Chains A and B, each alone.
Chain A
Amino acid sequence: MRNAFVDELCRIARERKDVVLLTGDLGFSVLEKFAEEFPERYFNVGIAEQNMAGMAAGLALSGLTVVTYSIANFAIVRCLEQVRNDICYHGGAVIVVSVGTGVAYGSQGYTHHGIEDMAFTRVLPNMAVIAPGDPVETRHGLRALVERGGPGSLRLGRGGEPVLHDPETFRWTFGKAVPLIAPQSVTFLSTGVILGEVLAAADLLQRQGIAAGVLSMPSVEPLDVEAVIAAARHARLLITVEEHVREGGFGGAVAEIVAGLPAPRARLIRTGIARNTAKIVGDQAFLRRTNGIDAASLAALVEGEMAAFVAVENNT
């Protein structure tokens, strides 16, 4: 995902002379490509994220398109007020790229878990929040944010994520959901790097004879409200999945829509990282499992819910 990002950024920078990259002294083995090809548009600002965000605003207000880069929380949360006041309020073309979001740096501990950022970013003025599900969505998400102008958060994984779309045929309209498996009576709404687990869960369910739909929703803000409404009307059970706390992020955004719909509508279950649990060390796979967002846990959740539906129906 990191490599897809930097390859696409280099491609964009070849087309557009206004693109500038700032890094908070991170990006070893990732950003060198850009730095070597565009030395006059590459600045390592040092380990100083507040200044990086403020400077990005100044560059953007001067007509440049700026990408800032750091890991997990450092690009967003460390400098949240600069992002809020200087970038978002002024509407500057700054794309804040966080790599290793979610629990990608799981065993590094809570300081490196990027699991609350969407609760902050999705309510900021003018801000688009894009959490791509694979390297293909990463390329399209970055390009769409650059073309849109204005502030954006691009929330990436760490590296080595599987390619889940055909890069040749994939097309994406900014802000729209990507249907991978058409909505069913059970439908997963997934955002970000957890998409691979969700597709694997759908596969497990398929083998149990349960058809589950999967929508990848890389755009958390703006949210594809029409797609959420259509899924909520069509399905009995909607499950949001994100590598982020269950409150305030993607599941929260979906819940805001679903709660306003008249019956009949799907029951909504939000899955994600539980708050206040990061006491035990664990890698990404372990933390996904313990938080119930690995493929097996998601499949088991659906089986349990389906059994409960059947039991209710048999009693009525």
Chain B
Amino acid sequence: MNSCASPSDNRVDTADLARRIRKDVLRMVHRTRASHVGSCFSMADMMAVLYGRCLRIDPLHPDAADRDRVVVSKGHAAAAVYATLANRGFFPLEWLDHYTENGGLLAGHASHNVPGIELSTGSLGHGLSVGTGMALAARVQQSERRTFVVLSDGECDEGSIWEAALFAGHHGLDNLTVLVDYNKIQSFGRVADILRLEPFADKWRSFGWAVREVDGHDHAALAETLESLPLSAGQPGVLLCHTVKGKGVSFMEDQMVWHYKSPNDEQLAQALRELENAR
């Protein structure tokens, strides 16, 4: 079993990192009146544990050949990706003040022009194929590096996800780990009402994947799982991370409207207060 190889002095308090990610995202979407705060919050804990503890990455050398690869396929949650990378030192925090600004680098959907981002995403259903290619490349090149792909639940409607799932399962790519941000809400309603994914774990299993269901907000559970990869030797692994859209701010939690809305001044103040009080 591989354990996470991040040097211990490179690890951070993931609860604190998650809080900073959420606060930065709030300020970014408030200032720019941007959407997708709910999607950012449901995956903030997954990002904090990945980047705070588990990945073999060096913010000072984001292009190092044998770094772990991360593809955030749900590119609409770019604000959370940028906040994560800035807080881990891939680029200065003040760049976040220029999110979606004219002439800037931080597009509304994740952009590979930003240090630390492997793939520009935003059209759903692309990331798993690219991640599968990255995992296959590691095998061809006999590299120990690992590939992590973060998917939304809604994007599992896309057929290309299952094309990639077939390939990775067939070829037993156990250097590939998917984290599904399973917040149960997609763009225009509840996943269960729009296009049912359940039995979701069974679908992945039947494609040849090892499956683990975890609370996507439980840092200890996430870390324990991510520190004991692969889930099963000879199989790609998927973590179905049960999450809550808008997690961390009471009035945003499990509300589809926060896929679209940005907080007003009063809501921003309350949300920041709630995040601070959760310490």
In the complex, the answer to whether A86 meets B129 with C-beta atoms within 8 Å is: yes
Partner of A51, one of B118, B123, B138, B167: B167
Which of B157-165, B194-202, B225-233 touches A?
A: B157-165
Task: Please give, as numbers and ranges, the residues of chain A lying within 8 Å of B112 by CB-CB distance.
Answer: 89-90
Task: Please give, as numbers and ranges, the residues of chain B lying within 8 Å of A63 by CB-CB distance.
Answer: 65, 137, 141
Task: Please give, as numbers and ranges, the residues of chain B lying within 8 Å of A41 by CB-CB distance.
Answer: 140
In the complex, the answer to whether A58 meets B133 with C-beta atoms within 8 Å is: yes
Q: Which of B132-179 contact A (CB under 8 A)?
A: 132-138, 140-141, 159-160, 163-164, 166-167, 170
In the complex, the answer to whether B129 meets A61 with C-beta atoms within 8 Å is: no
Answer yes or no: A85 CB below 8 A from chain B CBs.
yes
Q: How far is the CA of A306 from the CA of B69 in the complex (A)?
A: 62
Residue on A nearest B133 in the bound complex, by CB: A58
In the complex, the answer to whether A85 meets B118 with C-beta atoms within 8 Å is: no
Q: How far is the CA of A89 from the CA of B125 in the complex (A)?
A: 16
Task: Please give, as numbers and ranges, the residues of chain A lying within 8 Å of B136 by CB-CB distance.
Answer: 43, 55, 58-59
Answer yes or no: B130 CB below 8 A from chain A CBs.
yes
Answer yes or no: A282 CB below 8 A from chain B CBs.
no
Task: Please give, as numbers and ranges, the residues of chain B lying within 8 Å of A40 by CB-CB distance.
Answer: 140
Q: How far is the CA of A20 from the CA of B138 in the complex (A)?
A: 13
In the complex, the answer to whether B123 meets A58 with C-beta atoms within 8 Å is: no
Answer yes or no: B79 CB below 8 A from chain A CBs.
no
Q: How far is the CA of A57 from the CA of B125 in the complex (A)?
A: 14
In the complex, the answer to whether A54 meets B166 with C-beta atoms within 8 Å is: no
In the complex, the answer to whether B160 meets A89 with C-beta atoms within 8 Å is: no
Q: A55-B129, A82-B126, A82-B160 are in contact. Are A61 and B119 (CB under 8 A)?
A: yes
In the complex, the answer to whether B123 meets A50 with C-beta atoms within 8 Å is: no
Task: Please give, as numbers and ranges, the residues of chain A lying within 8 Å of B35 by CB-CB distance.
Answer: none
Q: Which of B119, B128, B138 has the most CB of A within 10 A?
A: B119
In the complex, the answer to whether B126 meets A62 with C-beta atoms within 8 Å is: no
Per-residue B-contact encoding for A28-64, CB less than 8 Å = 1, 0 else: 0000000000001101011010110111111111111
Answer yes or no: A81 CB below 8 A from chain B CBs.
yes
Q: A41-B140, A45-B167, A90-B112 are in contact. Are A55 and B130 (CB under 8 A)?
A: yes
Q: How far is the CA of A59 from the CA of B119 in the complex (A)?
A: 12
In the complex, the answer to whether A61 meets B163 with C-beta atoms within 8 Å is: no
Partner of B120, one of A46, A53, A85: A85
Task: Please give, as numbers and ranges, the residues of chain B lying within 8 Å of A50 by CB-CB distance.
Answer: 125, 129, 159-160, 163
Q: How far is the CA of A19 from the CA of B132 in the complex (A)?
A: 17
In the complex, the answer to whether A90 meets B133 with C-beta atoms within 8 Å is: no
Q: How far is the CA of A124 from the CA of B167 in the complex (A)?
A: 27
Q: How far is the CA of A41 from the CA of B140 in the complex (A)?
A: 7
Closest Cβ of chain B: how far from A68's Cβ, in Å? Answer: 11
Q: Using a Cβ–Cβ cut-off of 8 Å, how many residues does chain B contribute to the interface with A?
A: 29
In the complex, the answer to whether B141 meets A46 with C-beta atoms within 8 Å is: no
Answer yes or no: B131 CB below 8 A from chain A CBs.
yes
Partner of A81, one of B118, B123, B132, B163: B123
Q: How far is the CA of A89 from the CA of B109 in the complex (A)?
A: 14
Q: Which of A70-129 contact B (CB under 8 A)?
A: 81-82, 85-86, 89-90
Residue on B nearest A89 in the bound complex, by CB: B120
Partner of B133, one of A55, A85, A89: A55
Residue on B nearest A64 in the bound complex, by CB: B137
Q: Which of B14-48 contact A (CB under 8 A)?
A: none
Task: Please give, as numbers and ranges, the residues of chain B lying within 8 Å of A89 by CB-CB distance.
Answer: 112, 120
In the complex, the answer to whether A48 meets B130 with C-beta atoms within 8 Å is: no
In the complex, the answer to whether A62 meets B132 with C-beta atoms within 8 Å is: no
Q: How far is the CA of A195 from the CA of B174 in the complex (A)?
A: 49
In the complex, the answer to whether B132 meets A58 with C-beta atoms within 8 Å is: yes
Q: How far is the CA of A245 from the CA of B200 in the complex (A)?
A: 44
Partner of A64, one of B69, B119, B140: B140
Q: A50-B160, A54-B126 are in contact. Are A61 and B141 (CB under 8 A)?
A: no
Closest Cβ of chain B: how far from A85's Cβ, in Å? Answer: 6
In the complex, the answer to whether A55 meets B141 with C-beta atoms within 8 Å is: no
In the complex, the answer to whether B159 meets A54 with C-beta atoms within 8 Å is: no
Task: Please give, as numbers and ranges, the residues of chain A lying within 8 Å of B131 by CB-CB distance.
Answer: 58
Task: Please give, as numbers and ranges, the residues of chain A lying within 8 Å of B163 by CB-CB distance.
Answer: 46, 48, 50-51
Partner of B130, one of A20, A64, A81, A86: A86
In the complex, the answer to whether B160 meets A51 with C-beta atoms within 8 Å is: yes
Closest Cβ of chain B: how far from A303's Cβ, in Å? Answer: 50
Task: Please give, as numbers and ranges, the residues of chain B lying within 8 Å of A48 by CB-CB distance.
Answer: 163, 166-167
Task: Please give, as numbers and ranges, the residues of chain A lying within 8 Å of B118 by CB-CB distance.
Answer: 61
Task: Please give, as numbers and ranges, the residues of chain A lying within 8 Å of B133 by CB-CB distance.
Answer: 54-62
In the complex, the answer to whether A57 meets B130 with C-beta atoms within 8 Å is: yes
Beyond A50-B125, A50-B129, 18 additional pairs, beta carbon < 8 A: A40-B140, A41-B140, A48-B166, A48-B167, A51-B160, A54-B128, A54-B130, A54-B164, A55-B132, A55-B136, A57-B130, A59-B134, A59-B140, A63-B137, A64-B141, A85-B126, A86-B119, A90-B112
Would you list 25 pairs from A and B whose C-beta atoms are within 8 A, ordered by A residue?
A: A20-B140, A43-B136, A46-B166, A50-B159, A51-B160, A51-B163, A51-B166, A54-B128, A54-B130, A55-B129, A55-B136, A57-B129, A57-B130, A59-B133, A60-B133, A61-B118, A62-B69, A62-B134, A62-B141, A63-B137, A64-B140, A82-B126, A86-B126, A89-B112, A90-B119
